């Protein structure tokens, strides 16, 4: 028997309904903040991702040659594609642009719970606003979106300048190596790398920086860093908003394009793969042939949010089985139509079963049966049976709809 590729998943209808419910909650929050949805191709020129996304992600990519000999990659993330699209399609649009997306990404990683080779991100990119309020807006939106899903999480906000100031004497490749250790929270590796570079004192400053929980402490360790005022403004806006977050100056982010503010969200009930959100301010547009526009964004790891929520979130549809005899068929079609127009999921028998077999099937698949025989067809009424209680009454179709709807509402 053929199986799905490693690191991918199939989703049955119950799971898809739960996923769509949560996806739409996120989309609704994005809409309220003015972020409009965009869509980019699943594969791009490989170069788009090798230019700035960092070595880690390049190693993890699905890369292939197409029949025309082009070097392509399945997208490992969507930020680079969105910025490419901005340059191709919307460079002259009034700024800032508020965009969001919900799409799948592909990374050739070792699969485990919460880590897949195909996974979905809900992300936003705010393009062309270079202010403290812009950075704060994106972080507040991230919190609003996670709140809407019902997940319990910790949001940590930091800034790369603190770390970069401590590492400023290292060459860029060495800086990247150190930041990769920090990103993976690999503190033994960090110490070994800095010892090998003959910079053991840096390990001490960096670990002290990681423990700072206020801006004041972090400034004391990292010195007077560039953009100090902007950082203070962003943090005071977050405080004014009343949102819940904590400062963390150890956030390094795995992707290379970040420039300043960075933030990550962690689900409280997940194990190793508990990072459910990552983002920050970045500059990519100039690399792809555009102006040097400032951007800020994040992506939520949708699958990890679903793992964190577990089975609890899903409110199922009320299901009505339209059960009819041959004589009742035409009236049943009419009744099914008006039930669906009223927003009620209604299913007719397609197997030419007898009334008893239809009811037996309905008891396994539906909450209510609408029974339509010759009597109902003549009177234009329906018999409504509650399949949980066995209670049954004959009603006109509108009253039956009201009865079914009230059941859904009080669940
Ligand atoms: P990222 O941190 O690489 O950032 O990914 C964002 C989120 O995607 C992670 O926090 C995690 O929840 C989820 N994720 C990553 N890899 C996997 C995987 N293999 N399986 C399941 N979930 C995964 C970005 O991708 C940036 N583009 C975010 C961004 C947008 N920055 C600015 N704008």
pLDDT digits (tens, 9 = 90+) for 47-106: 999 987 666 677 899 999 999 999 999 999 999 999 999 999 999 999 999 999 999 999
- pLDDT computed for residue 303 by the predictor: 98
Give the Cα separation of 197 and 207 in Å (integer).
17
386: which 2 tokens? Answer: 């509650």
Confidence of residue 409 (pLDDT cuts 50, 70, 90): low
- Residues contacting residue 33 through CB under 8 Å, at least 6 positions apart: 98, 137, 141, 144
pLDDT digits (tens, 9 = 90+) for 162-205: 999 999 999 988 888 898 898 888 889 999 999 999 898 898 89
Distance 301 CA to ligand 1 centre (A): 6
Distance 201 CA to ligand 1 centre (A): 32
Element (H, E) at 109: none
- pLDDT computed for residue 218 by the predictor: 95
3-state secondary structure of 132: helix
Q: What percent of the chain has pLDDT over 90?
A: 83
Domain boundaries of the chain, sorted by first residue: 9-151+268-313, 153-246, 319-405
DSSP 322-377: EEE-TTTHHHHHHHHHHHHHTT-EEEE--S---HHHHHHHHHHH-SEEEEE-HHHH
- pLDDT computed for residue 52 by the predictor: 77
Distance 129 CA to ligand 1 centre (A): 22
From 304, 307, 308, 309, give the residue whose CB has the most ligand 1 atoms within 8 Å, as the site to mutate: 304
Q: Which residues line ligand 1 (CB under 6 A)?
A: 77, 79, 107, 109, 115-116, 119, 121, 123, 125, 254-255, 275-280, 282, 297-299, 301, 303-304
Distance 183 CA to ligand 1 centre (A): 13
Distance 277 CA to ligand 1 centre (A): 7
CATH for the 319-405 domain, from 3.40.50.150, 3.40.50.620, 3.40.50.800, 3.40.50.300: 3.40.50.800
CATH for the 9-151+268-313 domain, from 3.40.50.970, 3.40.50.720, 1.10.260.40, 3.30.930.10: 3.30.930.10
Nearest CA to ligand 1 atom 23: 301
pLDDT digits (tens, 9 = 90+) for 231-243: 999 999 999 999 9
Which atom of ligand 1 lies at the shortest distance from residue 79's CA? 27
From 301, 308, 309, give the residue whose CB has the most ligand 1 atoms within 8 Å, as the site to mutate: 301
- pLDDT computed for residue 54 by the predictor: 65
Q: What percent of the chain has pLDDT over 70?
A: 97
- pLDDT computed for residue 44 by the predictor: 97
Mean pLDDT of 297-324: 90
- pLDDT computed for residue 184 by the predictor: 85
**pTM of structure:** 0.93
């Amino acid at each position: 028997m053929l199986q799905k590729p490693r690191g991918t998943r199939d989703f049955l209808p119950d799971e898809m309904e739960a996923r769509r419910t949560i996806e739409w909650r996120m989309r609704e929050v994005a809409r309220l903040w003015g972020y409009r949805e965009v869509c980019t191709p699943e594969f791009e020129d490989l170069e788009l991702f090798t230019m700035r996304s960092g070595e880690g992600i390049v190693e993890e990519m699905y890369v292939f040659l197409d029949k025309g000999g082009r070097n392509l990659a399945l997208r490992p993330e969507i930020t680079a594609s969105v910025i490419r699209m901005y340059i191709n399609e919307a460079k002259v649009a009034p700024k800032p642009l508020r965009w969001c997306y919900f799409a799948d990404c592909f990374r050739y990683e070792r699969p485990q719970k919460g880590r897949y080779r195909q996974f979905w991100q809900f992300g936003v990119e705010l393009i062309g606003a270079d202010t403290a309020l812009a950075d704060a807006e994106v972080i507040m939106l991230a919190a609003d979106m996670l709140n809407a899903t019902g997940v319990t999480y910790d949001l940590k906000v930091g800034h790369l300048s603190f770390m970069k100031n401590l590492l400023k004497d290292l060459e860029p490749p060495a800086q990247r190596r150190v930041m990769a250790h920090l990103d993976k929270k690999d503190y033994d590796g960090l110490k070994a790398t800095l010892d090998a570079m003959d910079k053991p004192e840096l390990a001490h400053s960096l670990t002290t920086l990681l423990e700072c929980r206020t801006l004041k402490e972090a400034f004391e360790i990292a010195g007077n860093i560039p953009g100090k005022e902007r950082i203070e403004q962003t943090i005071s806006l977050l405080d004014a908003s009343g949102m819940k977050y904590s400062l963390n100056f150890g956030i390094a982010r795995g992707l290379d394009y970040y420039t300043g503010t960075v933030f990550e969200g962690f689900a409280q009930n997940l194990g190793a793969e508990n990072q459910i959100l990552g983002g920050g301010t970045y500059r990519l547009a100039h690399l792809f042939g555009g102006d040097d526009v400032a951007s800020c964004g994040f992506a939520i790891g949708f699958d990890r949010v679903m793992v964190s929520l577990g089975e609890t979130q899903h409110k199922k549809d009320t299901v009505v089985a339209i059960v009819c005899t041959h004589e009742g068929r035409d009236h049943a079609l009419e009744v099914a139509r008006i039930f669906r127009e009223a927003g009620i999921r209604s299913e007719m028998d397609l197997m030419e079963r007898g009334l008893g077999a239809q009811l037996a099937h309905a008891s396994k698949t539906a909450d209510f049966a609408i029974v339509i025989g010759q009597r109902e067809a003549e009177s234009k009424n329906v018999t409504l049976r509650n399949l949980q209680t066995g209670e049954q009454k004959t009603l006109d179709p509108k009253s039956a709809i009201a009865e079914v709807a009230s059941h859904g509402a009080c669940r």
